[in-house]
Chain A
Amino acid sequence: MANIMIRQGEKGLTFYLPKRDLEASIESIEFDSPEKWGGELKLDNGGSYYIDPIAKPPRLPISLRAKRLGAAED
């Protein structure tokens, strides 16, 4: 589990992993509705992370705990 931050970028959502100073844009998010938001995040660098679905946050950026599914960075 790692702390991550999701932010509204100019072109869509961006993903930020402070521990490793890693910034990437989010290509797809599994659930994206007002009640259920989150799930698997696919990053443009090939990696993917999982966040527990929550109600869509009213304001971004938001810090969350995420599980790493596929490691692509490095």
Chain B
Amino acid sequence: MSLKIVTANRLRDGAVVYLAGSARWSERLRDARRATDAAETDALLAAAERAVAAQEVVAPYLIDVVQADGTIHPVGTREIIRASRGPTIKPPVGSFRQDESHV
């Protein structure tokens, strides 16, 4: 079976997150907990559903990843773009990431 991880959006700010531990979510795909068989996949999904019930994340789902260079990489353009935490193009001059805002 291929390698799978669970991703979702965080409820509070919508950020892309990956299930990292049994109840921990990370913004970095490489932290994600990997499933290699059906039992592990079920465990991942069960943990994700608990996080949904606890108002942490919304709409979790499984994605395929591949292992290379000692880490994991998403498959398909959509998940590659999600994992990069932003669009593939530069926003207009004068824009910033929200955590850089000092207002």
A and B are interacting partners: no
Please give the residue numbers on chain A whose beta carbons come within 8 Å of chain B beta carbons, in ascending order. none
